[in-house]
Amino acid sequence: MTTPPPPTPKDPHAEPSEEFGRYISHLTQGMRRLDQRMGLAAYCAGLMLPLARKCVGPMAARLDPQRADSRHQSLHHFIAKAEWSDEGLLALVAEWVTPMMDFGGSTWLVVDDIGFPKRGNHSVGVTRQRYGAHGKRDNSQVAVNVWQANERVSLPLAWQLYLPKHWADNAVGRLKAGVPEEIRFATKPQIALQQLRRLMFEGIERNCVWADIEYGVDPAFRRGLDDLGLHYMAGVGANTLVGSSALNGAQLMSDAEVLGSSGDSGTAERRITVKTLANSLPESAFQEYTGLSQLADLAGFRFATVRVRAAVGRSQLLPTQWLVVECHRNPAQGRRYYLSSLPASAQPEQLVRSACIRFRVQRDTSDLLQATGLGHYEGRGWRGFHHHASVSIAAYGFLLTQRLRRMHRGLPDQYTLPGLAKPEDETLAKAYRDAIERGAIESLRQALLQLNSRPR
C-alpha cells in the first residue's frame, strides 16, 4: 500500500520535541502493536541521549530511572525479539528525510561497508576479515550499506550484515543467531546489487553510484550496474588492465601484455595496468580542484581523467569509459583509481565530484557512529543487529532533519536536538549535554502522548 507523503513540518520554528512526535508517528505506521510503537519511541530517544555506551542498560536507566529494570526488559524485547521490518523502517526514514535533502545539486548513491570489531566469535557474522577505510584485518562484523548523498548531507537507505560462507553454511550457528531462512551466502558486491535492485523497485531515482574498491574490482558488479541502467564511479586496483591505446601513441612499458584479438574486431591491442598508464601521463594531465570545499579539503590532491577500455579476461576489451586517477602531493597518501561509465561528455569537474563524494559519506558515517551509537549493540543475533542499526539510522535521520531545517534557513550547521552548538568549554559542554538529555526525554514524552492518542 502506498503511504501518503510525510507531514514535513511547515513551521520552521516548530519545537524539535513536537516534531519528534510526528516523526515517530510516521515511522510507526507499519507497526500494529502499541508496545512496538512505544518501544520505537523510547529506543530512538535513548539513542539521542549523551551516553558513553548507547545500549539497552544505560538507556533504560536514564530514560526511566524509577523503573529501570522494567524499561530494560521492554527495550530488549523490542530490539532483539519483536517482529517488525528493519527494511520497512529505513524506507519510512528515507520517505521523511530525503525530500528535505534537496539543495538543487547532484545526488549520488554510495555503496560501502562499515565494520565493527568484536571479541570472540559468537556474534552473528563475526570472522577475521578486513574492515574500515584502511583495510584493517581483525575479528569483526561487516555490514554492506547504500547511502543517498549530495555534497552537503547523506543518509543510509539500505543495510545488511555480510554473512561469511562458513557462517552461511553452519546450520547450528544460523539457528542460534536467528538468521532468516532466505539469507544465503552472497559476496558483498552481490549484496550491494540486491540492495540497489530493491531500491530501484521502490522507485528511487537512478543516480550515479559511487562504489569502494572492494566492489568496483568485481567486473560482475560493474556489469550489474550497467544492467540496472546506473552510471557508476567504481574504485579499482592498481593492477586493473586497460587497452594501451589510452596512451595515445606514447611508448609502451616493457611489461605490457599482448591482448588477443578475440571479441575485439580482429585487432590486437596491448594491455597495461592503470598504474602503468598513470605513470605514463604527463604532469600537466593532473589538475587540482580545491574549489570543491563542501565535499572535503582537497588541498594537495590532484586528479587526471582519461578515456580507456577496461580488459576482461585475456581476450576482451569493454567499451570506452573514464579512468579517474587521484593522487596526493605526499606520496605516502598513495593513489586511487576509478573506472566510470559517466557519459563521454562529462566534464573533469563532474568526474572529480563523483570520485570525491566518498568524503561526504565518510564524515557522516563518523557522525552516525558517534551521535546515535550505531556500533554499540551488544547482542549476538541477526534480528537485533539489524533492528538496532535501523533505529540508529532513524535517530540519525531525525537529527539530520534538525540540521536540514537550519541549513535551509541559512543558519549554522548543527547536530543538536535542542538547537545548541557544542561548545569547547567544559562547563558549557555539560550544559549542552544536559540540554540534549532534556530534549530527548521531552521528545519521548511528546511521542508517547501522540501514540497514545492514536486509535489502537
Q: How confident is the model over 280-311, as pLDDT tens digits?
A: 999 999 999 877 766 677 878 999 999 999 99
Q: Note the pLDDT tens digit of each residue in 2-37.
A: 444 444 444 444 567 778 888 998 999 888 888 899
Instruction: Write down the pLDDT at residue 438.
Output: 65
Contact 197, 160 (CB under 8 A): no
Q: What residue has cell string 528535505?
A: 100
**Residue 172 belongs to a domain:** no
Instruction: Write down the pLDDT at residue 73.
Output: 96
Q: Is a pLDDT exceeding 90 seen at residue 442?
A: no
**Residue 154 belongs to a domain:** no
- Please give the full DSSP string across 68-82, using - where no structure is assigned: HHHHHHHHHHHHHT-
Cα 326 from Cα 198, distance rounded (Å): 32
Q: Note the pLDDT tens digit of each residue in 207-221.
A: 999 999 999 999 999
Q: Note the pLDDT tens digit of each residue in 117-143.
A: 988 888 999 999 987 655 678 899 999
The three-point CA angle 397-189-372 to 5° equals 20
Cα 38 from Cα 330, distance rounded (Å): 53
Grid coordinates belonging to 3: 503511504
CA-based torsion, 71, 76, 78, 79: positive or negative: positive
Q: Is a pLDDT exceeding 90 seen at residue 329?
A: no
pTM for the predicted model, two decimal places = 0.88
User: What Cα–Cα distance (Å) separates residue 386 from each residue in 30, 161, 236, 285?
Assistant: 17, 8, 29, 45
**Residue 358 belongs to a domain:** no
Contact 432, 416 (CB under 8 A): yes
Grid coordinates belonging to 297: 579539503
Q: Which of 69-78, 243-252, 349-358, 416-425 has the lowest mean pLDDT?
A: 416-425
Domain count within the chain: 1
**Residue 257 belongs to a domain:** yes
Backbone angles phi, psi at 441, to 5 degrees: -70, -40
**Residue 73 belongs to a domain:** no
**Residue 421 belongs to a domain:** no
Backbone angles phi, psi at 19, to 5 degrees: -65, -35
**Residue 307 belongs to a domain:** yes
Q: Is 157 in a helix, a strand, or coil? A: strand
Report how far Cα 36 is from the mean position of its chain's Cα atoms: 26
Instruction: Write down the pLDDT at residue 207.
Output: 96
Tell me the residue range of the domain where 259 lies.
239-334
Q: Note the pLDDT tens digit of each residue in 41-89.
A: 999 989 988 888 999 999 999 888 999 999 999 999 999 999 999 999 9
Helices 219-227 and 188-201, axial angle in degrees (round to 10): 10
**Residue 188 belongs to a domain:** no
CA-based torsion, 94, 95, 101, 102: positive or negative: positive
Contact 212, 113 (CB under 8 A): yes
